Amino acid sequence: MNLVFVGFILILLGIIIIINPISHDYIWGYISDLSDYNIPLGGLIIAVGIYALYLSTKTESKKSNEPDYFICPSCLHPVVESDVPELRCLKCNLDLEPIKGFYERHPEKKESLTSC
Ligand SMILES: [Zn+2]
């Protein structure tokens, strides 16, 4: 199920409950009166809907930009993979390394970076 779709449905449902708390069920002749707690209930449903939208944006952005960043081990210049497809630093002509975990593999580079 699409999280964006679920989020929008929940937000819409929450707004409907706040605006129109008394709903008539014509098939069963049943009247549900939510006017005593329509605002906390509607607010809760809207919050869940916003959370669903937030989760959908978070998972999409994580998918698209995580593995693309690389760094030169000599000049520490960060690059995006799409800018340098051959994965070599244009200044030093050295092989680039993935930026993820770079400072764990080279703790001495981190010290030189913070000192200047
Ligand atoms: Zn370089």
Tens digit of each residue's pLDDT (9 = 90 or more) over 15-24: 998 888 877 6
96 C-alpha to ligand 1 centroid (Å): 8
Ion ligand 1: residues, CB < 5 A: 72, 74-75, 89, 91-92
Q: What's the CA gap between 28 and 32, in Å, rounded?
A: 11
Q: What is the pTM of this model?
A: 0.47
pLDDT at 76 over 70: yes
71 C-alpha to ligand 1 centroid (Å): 8
Q: Which residue has the tokens 């051959």?
A: 86
**Residue length, the chain?**
116
Looking at residue 95, the DSSP 8-state letter turns out to be: B
66 C-alpha to ligand 1 centroid (Å): 21
pLDDT of residue 26: 66
